[in-house]
Structure 1
């Protein structure tokens, strides 16, 4: 098979991170790149000197098989539909969007276009989720009891995100969309579809900045709970933790990839833990993108799964409660 010619639109933190990993992957060629920020384009081209900096987003699509969209949420729909209308495969960053009605249209139109599509929930093809999902299906955890999600940060955006200024504003940013969405995706993969019972977000009293605290309870069809607690502030390290609770054993994923297990005592490294680093996770995502492009079964997040997560996330941010 020929290498998958790819255009990357959006060359911020995630766009450049994916660019680096595509350059390392033998089945991808980064053909064109574009970002409205010329400095970001120059920075990205230092990583990929053979890639062409397109004159605009539409021009970036003309000669590729796959379009990877790492731009902020608002413009993603237009770019994705332009790409799919040309028969290009589409790989979107999460969240799928911030307007649920618009995202429903996006999912409907991408489905009608019939092109390969996926959303980059980075745990989807990771070893930890794959192992826990398989284990839960064969009873390795015993009876599932629910999931706890805890995220805490001293500052938001985090230090390495400061150049992505949109992340601090309520209309597109915030830890709930950026981080908790990953863990709700994981939760639905394990427990099935979730329904929001109640949510309590807290925002700064002035301006349009994003949430500083959030608490929420969701349940699956069997009534198993997913509890969320998130906060920003205080002298502390980042904490990103999901605990899948079972009557026999529980599994905890920390910092997206550190997989540990407990049978009632301290959480200890699981057998799948040692090599599951960010690099191997992103390679796994790209390996599964190759499968998707070839019409084969894969573990990537579908646009339908991403829409389900978005509906939950936007409900949490609006303080929605079940009727």
Structure 2
């Protein structure tokens, strides 16, 4: 049984908390959060869990095997360095860090410590994404001509994300929050990105995050990738990742809906077969901790994502 310590209990942290509780091979042993009201609520539900308001005290607990870092991005760096120094395996929220240099130090720290390290990017375990990858690499849509990522929001932050940091320019915004999911997929299939050009609009308030982005980059094989992000518009939220080939087009819409299109057919839903390997993040981390081959989005991938993300944030 893997003993898990969780640092930070925002909306995403609580979501993964439930998954750790339900998983047959993990036990949530300790939780750290600065919100005492939230800790009191957790204590009422999980009586056996140790509660902390200082993360270093949690890291000093010798029973903890795996630490899940779910605090806002600017706090990832120091907590991960301390966790690695304490010999704890680490699962970190995305983006990996708040800067290129922080990400580099975090990667070096976990590799030096010899601990298992992973980032919470659920698309990597999605059956729809697995089918998309198979169709692209199998050339079902032919040679790829262009890739487009669209992120449109009626409001940002979204209703369930109302907190100061995710609305702020320092570490929030939809570029940092949404694009890492798709950058992981892009870099995994197509390799590194280059020639990144970005145009970002910000509100007059210097602390608020972006309201729009138009970006272009080239992938390793020269295929162009276009990014179109916009918030504060009168339409339903839409997140679309679309790959255009010379024989057809495939799109991942709103995270899980796979859609195809051909020149002689109207857009059609693509049936997604279940992945019999049943890969999920927690099970893969446990495999890694047991010395088995595991499909994890490691800090190395996270560092490569961070490099592209930092360039995206540098507006022309």
TM-score (norm 2): 0.92
Q: In the TM superposition, what is the alpha-carbon distance from 1:40 to its structure 2 partner?
A: 2.5
Q: What is the SS of the residue equivalent to 2:300?
A: helix
Structure 2 unaligned spans of 5+: none
Report the Cα distance in structure 2 between the residues aligned to 1:125 and 1:292, rounded to whole angstroms. Answer: 15
Cα displacement (A) at 1:207: 2.5
| Distance change >3 Å, CA 74–CA 252, structure 1 → 2 | same
CA drift at 1:196: 4.1
Aligned to 1:99: 99
The question of 1:304 aligning with 2:297 is answered no
2:25 pairs with 1:16:
no
- Over aligned residues, Cα RMSD in angstroms? 1.9
When the two structures are aligned, how many residues end up with a matched partner?
311
* Alignment of 1:287 onto 2:263: no
> For residues 187-225 of structure 1, what are the alpha-carbon distances to aligned partners after superposition, in whole Å with 9 as ceiling and x for unaligned?
111211112420001100223110000010111121101
Do the aligned partners of residues 5 and 65 (structure 1) sit closer, same or farther apart at CA in structure 2, a change above 3 Å counting? same
Unaligned runs of 5+ in 1: 277-281
Q: Which residue of 2 aligns with 1:268?
A: 268
* Per-residue Cα deviation, 1:131-186 (whole angstroms, up to 9, x for no partner): 22233222223212231100011111100001x32001100000000011211111
CA–CA distance in structure 2, aligned partners of residues 297 and 250 of structure 1: 33
* CA distance in 2: counterparts of 1:238 and 1:16, whole angstroms: 23
CA 1:189–1:234: 2 relative to 1, 3 Å = same
Give the stretch that moved more between structures: 198-207 or 50-59: 50-59
Q: Secondary structure at the match of 1:268?
A: strand
Q: How does 1:1-323 map to 2 (within 5 A)?
A: 3-61=1-59, 62=61, 63-162=63-162, 164-264=163-263, 265-272=265-272, 284-319=280-315
Q: In 1, distance between residues paired with 2:259 and 2:295?
A: 22
**Counterpart Cα distance in 1 of 2:42 and 2:136:** 41
C-alpha separation in 2, matches of 1:316 and 1:131: 28
Q: Secondary structure at the residue paired with 2:140?
A: coil
* Change beyond 3 A, Cα 1:122–1:196: farther
SS state at 2:48 partner: coil
Cα drift, residue 55 of structure 1: 4.2
In structure 2, distance between residues paired with 1:225 and 1:112: 36
Structure 1: distance between partners of 2:281 and 2:11 = 17
Contact 2:194–2:219, Cα closer than 8 Å, also in 1: yes
Q: In the aligned structure 1, how far is the partner of 2:168 from the partner of 2:80?
A: 23
Q: Deviations over 1:278-304 (max 9, x none)?
A: xxxx98222222222223333321111
Cα shift at 1:46? 4.5
**Do 1:195 and 1:218's aligned partners in 2 also have CA atoms closer than 8 Å?**
yes
TM-score (norm 1): 0.90
1: CA distance, partners of 2:189 / 2:262: 19
Q: Distance in 1 between matches of 2:44 and 2:255?
A: 29
Evaluate the alpha carbon distance shift between residue 131 and residue 38 of structure 1 in structure 2; reply closer, same or farther with a 3 A threshold.
same
